[in-house]
């Protein structure tokens, strides 16, 4: 479509503070500027063991700011954990939330903000149910992984383990007020986490770039993030002391978050959410495994854009026509995953998937209301089943796309 025929709105409400040691330099002063007195710190046990939340607690205490640490956030945070955290927030008289960690901590923190500012249960406010209408408490986000992008988005993903489903809570008020992106916080990340969360950021950028909601603004953000990740993620994976590589990847993740926060995500996420909710596959790993197969499925909807992505990753394709450059992208992505020691499928789970199991996954994916509508190719349930069969055990060679 010609730009003269388009109209769109773009708002990036989160102040991003980037830089080595920016946490130490800015956190306390920014909280004081907001006139907050007691901070609810949302984090997980892994970071507690690494000492990061207690370091932040000490920084705040030194500046006369009281805080409490809630460290029970689990991967794919549970709805009941959200309610537990909201009760503690209210009981302790907190007046702001500080999320420290990856996407789970930030999803949890946003959901706690909704729970303390709205009546009822957090699942009452999942997409398609009650709207989030009230302002949530002031929220700061400090990402410690290199993939989530949640520090600049208006979305929270919460798991209902009783139903075995992931649900999205979304509203403009969920955007963190400030995100402090400090590359020093990624220095202790295990390389496997760097790989999977880094590819998670790549998926965010790729899906935003080809989304039917994409605009020139999201395109610029997404393609820049793809370039940074292609150039620096392997080095960030190879050596934890490569601060320049970690810095590039950390900022690329935030830029990709801006892109998908405005442009949306597609069926990589539709398919990965059930794998995490039902089989507890880490979100970034599920995305990484699914990405090449989804790209193959989506190609016919937008050869030009997929070709542009392929050329960013492999410059030698600059002289290749769009259709053939695009067709090479899935293989390029599989090779990129392999260089980071990411599995090519879900065989590692050791589960033999039945038709009924695949059918349940496909139903849940099709009900992922925040992602299915944005995909560049309109997906039907049978298409989703074909995608799953390409990456699940026992179904490796059965599905082809046209």
Domain with residue 131: its CATH number is: 3.40.50.1970
Query: Is residue 40 assigned to a domain?
Result: yes
Query: Is residue 1 assigned to a domain?
Result: no
Q: Do 277 and 375 belong to one domain?
A: yes
Environment class of residue 208 by beta-carbon count within 10 Å: exposed (0-12), middle (13-18) or buried (19+)? buried
Tally of domains within the chain: 2
* 333 in Cβ contact with 288 (< 8 Å): no
Q: Do 37 and 159 belong to one domain?
A: yes
Q: Where are the beta strands (DSSP E) in 145-257?
A: 155-160, 165-170, 178-181
**pLDDT average, residue stretch 200-208:** 98
Share of the chain above pLDDT 70, in %: 98
- Whether the pLDDT of residue 327 is over 90: the answer is yes
Environment class of residue 400 by beta-carbon count within 10 Å: exposed (0-12), middle (13-18) or buried (19+)? exposed
Distance set, CA 300 to CA 296, 342, 398 (Å)? 8, 26, 20
Q: Do 286 and 247 belong to one domain?
A: yes
Parent domain of 136:
15-186
What 3-state DSSP class applies to 97?
strand
Query: Is residue 10 assigned to a domain?
Result: no
- pTM over the 0.75 mark: yes
Q: Do 173 and 204 belong to one domain?
A: no
* 260 in Cβ contact with 212 (< 8 Å): no
Q: Do 332 and 356 belong to one domain?
A: yes
Residue whose C-alpha is closest to residue 106's, from 114, 98, 95: 98
Q: Mean pLDDT score of the chain, rounded to an integer?
A: 94
Q: Round to whole Å and give the CA distance between 363 and 379.
A: 12
- Which tens digits make up the pLDDT trace of 31-69? 999 999 999 999 999 999 989 999 999 999 999 999 999
- Which tens digits make up the pLDDT trace of 185-194? 988 888 999 9
Confidence at residue 401, expressed as pLDDT on a 0 to 100 scale: 60
What 3-state DSSP class applies to 38?
strand
Distance set, CA 15 to CA 28, 153, 165, 252, 273 (Å)? 15, 12, 32, 16, 28
- Whether the pLDDT of residue 398 is over 80: the answer is no
- Which tens digits make up the pLDDT trace of 349-377? 999 999 999 999 999 999 998 899 999 99
Listed residues 146, 163, 186: the one ending a domain: 186
Listed residues 186, 204, 231: the one ending a domain: 186
Q: Do 120 and 235 belong to one domain?
A: no
Query: Is residue 8 assigned to a domain?
Result: no
The tokens 């909710």 sit on which residue?
Answer: 277
Confidence at residue 1, expressed as pLDDT on a 0 to 100 scale: 62
- Whether the pLDDT of residue 131 is over 70: the answer is yes
Confidence at residue 5, expressed as pLDDT on a 0 to 100 scale: 77
Q: Which helix (H) or strand (E) holds 326?
A: helix 322-327
Query: Is residue 5 assigned to a domain?
Result: no
**pLDDT average, residue stretch 382-397:** 86
Q: At 311, which CATH number?
A: 1.20.1090.10
Listed residues 186, 208, 239: the one ending a domain: 186
């Amino acid at each position: 479509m010609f730009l003269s025929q388009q109209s769109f709105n773009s708002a990036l409400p989160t102040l991003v503070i980037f830089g080595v040691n920016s946490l130490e330099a800015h956190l306390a002063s920014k909280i004081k500027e907001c006139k907050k007195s007691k901070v609810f710190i949302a984090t997980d046990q892994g970071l507690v063991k690494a000492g990061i939340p207690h370091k932040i607690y000490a920084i705040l205490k030194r500046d006369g700011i009281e805080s409490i640490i809630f460290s029970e956030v689990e991967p794919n945070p549970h709805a009941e954990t959200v309610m537990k955290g909201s009760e503690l927030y209210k009981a302790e008289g907190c007046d702001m939330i500080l999320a420290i960690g990856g996407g789970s901590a930030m999803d949890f923190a946003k959901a706690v903000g909704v729970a303390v500012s709205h009546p009822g249960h957090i699942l009452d406010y999942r997409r398609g149910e009650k709207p989030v209408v009230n302002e949530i408490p002031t929220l700061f986000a400090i990402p410690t992984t290199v993939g989530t992008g949640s520090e600049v988005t208006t979305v929270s993903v919460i798991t209902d383990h009783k139903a075995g489903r992931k649900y999205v809570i979304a509203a403009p008020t969920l955007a963190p007020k400030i995100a402090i992106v400090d590359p020093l916080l990624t220095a202790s990340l295990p390389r496997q986490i760097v790989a999977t969360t880094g590819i998670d950021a790549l998926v965010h950028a790729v899906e935003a770039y080809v989304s039917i909601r994409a605009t020139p603004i999201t395109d610029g953000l997404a393609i820049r993030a793809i370039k940074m990740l292609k150039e620096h993620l392997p080095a960030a994976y190879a050596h934890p002391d490569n601060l320049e590589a970690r810095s590039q990847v950390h900022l690329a993740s935030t830029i990709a978050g801006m892109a998908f926060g405005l442009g949306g995500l597609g069926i990589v996420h539709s398919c990965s959410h059930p794998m995490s909710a039902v089989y507890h596959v880490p979100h970034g790993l599920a995305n990484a495994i699914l990405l090449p197969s989804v790209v193959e499925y989506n190609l016919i909807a937008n050869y030009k854009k997929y070709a542009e992505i392929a050329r960013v990753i492999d410059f030698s394709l600059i002289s290749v026509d769009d259709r053939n450059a695009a067709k090479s992208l899935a293989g390029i992505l599989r090779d990129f995953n392999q260089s980071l020691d990411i599995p090519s499928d879900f065989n590692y789970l050791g589960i033999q998937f039945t038709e009924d199991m695949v059918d349940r996954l496909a139903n849940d994916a099709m009900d992922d209301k925040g992602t299915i509508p944005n995909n560049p190719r309109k997906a039907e349930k049978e298409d989703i089943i074909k995608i799953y069969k390409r990456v699940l055990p026992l179904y490796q060679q059965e599905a082809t796309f046209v």
